[in-house]
Amino acid sequence: MNINIEVNYRSVQANKGETILETLTRNGIRVPTLCNLNDLSPTGACRLCVVEVEGRDNLVTSCTQVVEEGMRIYTHSPRVVRARKTIVELLLANHPDDCLYCERNGSCELQNLAVELNVRERKVLHKSFTQKLDLSSPSIVRDPAKCILCGRCVRVCDEVQSVSTFEFVNRGCNMYVGTTMLRDLNFSNCIGCGQCVMVCPTGALYERQNLTEVMDALNNPELVTVVQIAPSISVSVASEFGLKPSKDVNGLLFAALRRIGFKFVFDTAVAADVVTSEMATELIMRKENGHDLPIFSSCCPAWVKFMEQWYPNHISTLSAVKSPQQVMGTLIRNYFAPAIGINPSKIFSVSVMPCLAKKFEAQREEMTTRGLSDVDTVISTRELVRLIKLYGIDMQSLESQHADKPFNIRSSAGKLFGISGGSAEALARMVFFRLTSKELNQSNLNEIKVISGVKAYSFNAAGKTFTFAVVNGLKNIHTIIPALADGDVKFDFIEVMACPGGCINGGGQPYGDNAKFVRMRAKAIIDMDDFDAIKCAARNPVVQTIYDEFLGEVGGEKSRKFLHTQYSKRDVLL
C-alpha cells in the first residue's frame, strides 16, 4: 500500500511501514547518520538523521519514525542543518585530535560528516574520559576514547553474531561502551570476527596491525619471505586501486607482492583443494562408521572459537582438518622448504586474509608443527592495500603474473571457499566424484527446507544419500544445534561461516557499502566457477602431486600429522 507524502515540496510515494529514512534513501535523498545500519534495529542514538515534520514542534529522527499519510518533511531546512552541525560539534568536543595518526583517517565517518557540514573550528571544549587502549586481542584493538556511543558494535555483535561481547555501561554523561564484565577483549567472549570493526564509524575499533613485522622480515636478508593470498582477496581490492569494483586481480596481486620483495607468492585456493580432499575422506569414513555426524566445517576460526565457548559438547563434530590458511602454512614449511633446500626456520610465512580471526588462528598453540608456527603472521585485506600503496606500486600499470610452483594451479571449487556455501559445494563435488568418478551437477542437488535461515540440500552417490546444510552467520547456530540434539533434523555436513556472506564480507575487508560490494564479490567468484575448466579438487594435478611427493595416502598417517588438528573447550574468563 502506497502512502503519499511531501519531501522538500516534492510529492513522494512511500510504502506502508517504512521509516522516513528508508523512504528518503529509496528516493535518492541522502540523510546523514552515524548509528543506523540496514538490517539492524534503529535506535536514533546519534540524532544526525533528524528531519523537520510540519506540525511537530520537535525534530524527528527519520530512522525510527514511520511515514504517515500526508506528512510534509524538510530534510535540509536551516533548523535541521543547524541541529546536525551542532551534534557533530558536540561529538568532536569529546573526541581526540589525532586524526592524522588515526587508523581511520580518510575513511572515518565522523571526519567525513565534519567536512560535509563545514565544521571548521572547535566551538565546544570538553574534557574526554581517559580510558586505556585495549591491546589484549591478537585480532582487534579497542580505543574507547574514540567511541561516539553510536551502538553499532553492540547491535551487530548481538543481533547478527549473537555473541554479545559489547554493552553500554553507566548512564548519562558517564555512559560508555564496554565489554561484558568490563574485561579486556582477549578475556571476553569475543570471537574476533571483526564485524564490529566493519560497522564502527570511527577509530574506536580496528584490526591489530602486523605490517611492521612483515616489513622487518622483507628487509631481513636471512629470511625467505613467502606470502599466500586467500580466495576472496582478488575480488575485494580492485576499487581501492581505481579498477573496476569486484574485478579479479589475482594476477596483479602476485606481480605487486613480488615487486614488494616476497620471494614466493602462492594461492591459498590450492590449499583449499587439499582441505577438500581431506574432508571428503573424513566425511565418507564417518558416514560408513555412522558416528560423529554431522561434521561441522572448521575453516572459519571465529566459528571454531564460538563452538569451543558455547557448545563444547559438540567439539568432536568439528572437522579435524585445518583451515586452508594453516594447511598452506604447514605445506610451505614442511613440504616446499625442504624441497628447495631451505631450512624451514628461515621461512617467514605471511598470510593475506579477509578475516581478523585468522590473526588469532595463526597464534593458536595447535597450529604448530615441530615447534614452528604454520603461519608467522597474518595481514588483512586493508593492510595489503596499505602495503602496496606504501611501496608506490601502480596496480593499473602491472602485467598479470601467475603464482609460484608448486602451489600454482587451483580448482574453481577452491575459489568458492570465499563465499557462504562455497566449501560445502566444493566438498559435495569431491564426495560425489570419489564415489562415482563423475562430476557433480546442480541437477544432482535436491533442495531441502528444514530451518528458516539455513540452506540445505541432499544428493545421492553410490547408493548413499548425503545431506548438507549451510549456516550463513552465527545467529542461526542457536537454532540448528538444539534441533540436531532433539533429533528434529539430520545432516551429514554443516558449513558455518561467522560473517554473513562468507569471507567476502570478512572483518578485514575494505570499508564501504558492504551490502552492495558483497553481492558484487560473490557474483565475481561464481562467474569464475562457471568459466573455469577445473571445477573439482579431484581434477587438480597439483593436489595429486602433493600427495604423491609428500603426504602419501589421503587421510593417511602423514596427512593427519601435518594437516589435522584438535580443538578443546575454551573457558571465557568472566
Q: Which residues 6+ apart lie within 8 Å of 186 measured at CB? A: 136, 137, 138
- The rounded distance, in Å, linking the Cα atoms of 286 and 492 is 9
Crossing angle of helices 211-218 and 381-390, rounded to 10°: 50
Q: What are the grid coordinates assigned to 74, written together?
A: 524538510
Q: How many CB atoms lie within 10 A of CB 182?
A: 11
CB 418 within 8 A of CB 230: yes
Nearest to 98 by CA among 48, 138, 152, 143: 143
- The rounded distance, in Å, linking the Cα atoms of 23 and 15 is 8
The pair phi, psi for residue 102, each rounded to 5°, is: -75, 145
Q: What is the pTM of this model?
A: 0.92
Is residue 61 exposed (0-12), middle (13-18) or buried (19+ Cβ within 10 Å)? Answer: buried
CB 157 within 8 A of CB 45: no
Give me the pLDDT at residue 442, please: 80
Nearest to 423 by CA among 415, 434, 431: 415
Give me the pLDDT at residue 127, please: 66
Q: What is the pLDDT of residues 448-462, one digit of tens each?
A: 877 777 888 989 888
Which residues pair with residue 167 across a beta bridge? 178
Give me the pLDDT at residue 39, please: 82
Q: Which domains does the chain have, with CATH numbers?
A: 2-76 (3.10.20.740), 91-207 (3.30.70.20), 212-563 (3.40.50.1780)
| 297-309: burial string, b at 16+ Cβ within 10 Å, e else | bbbbbbbbbbbbb
Task: For 361-420, give the DSSP string.
Answer: HHH-GGGEETTEES-SEEEEHHHHHHHHHHTT--GGGPPP-PPPTTS----HHHHGGGST
Residues of the chain with pLDDT under 50: 574
- The rounded distance, in Å, linking the Cα atoms of 198 and 153 is 9
Nearest to 284 by CA among 548, 540, 463: 463
CB 232 within 8 A of CB 354: yes
CB 195 within 8 A of CB 156: yes
Q: What are the grid coordinates assigned to 242, written together?
A: 581505481
CB 87 within 8 A of CB 48: yes
Q: Are strands 464-472 and 454-461 parallel, antiparallel or unpaired?
A: antiparallel
In a 13 Å sphere around the CA of 302, the CA atoms on its Cβ side amount to: 31
> Which amino acid appears at position 413 of this protein?
A
CB 33 within 8 A of CB 11: no
Which residues pair with residue 59 across a beta bridge? none
CB 477 within 8 A of CB 498: no
Give me the pLDDT at residue 513, please: 65
Nearest to 141 by CA among 524, 508, 545: 508
CA distances from 498 to 53, 79, 303, 325, 336 (A): 41, 43, 5, 16, 31
Please name the residue ranges forming H helices in 141-291.
Answer: 152-155, 195-199, 211-218, 250-260, 268-289
β-sheet with 264-267: strand ranges across = 264-267, 224-229, 347-353, 377-380
CA gyration radius, the chain:
25
Q: Which residues 6+ apart lie within 8 Å of 280 measured at CB? A: 427, 430, 431, 434, 554
Task: Quote the distance between the C-alpha of residue 574 and its chain's center.
Answer: 26
Q: What are the grid coordinates assigned to 517, written together?
A: 560490494
Q: Are strands 347-353 and 50-53 parallel, antiparallel or unpaired?
A: unpaired
Give me the pLDDT at residue 182, please: 82
Give me the pLDDT at residue 574, please: 44
DSSP 3-state of 10: strand
Give me the pLDDT at residue 463, please: 85
Give me the pLDDT at residue 87, please: 93
Q: Left (φ > 0), alpha (ψ -120 to 50) or beta: where does 467 sit?
A: beta
Residues recorded for the chain: 574
- Cα angle for residues 407, 508, 112 (degrees, 5° grid): 140
The pair phi, psi for residue 401, each rounded to 5°, is: -130, 165
Q: How many CB atoms lie within 10 A of CB 145?
A: 18
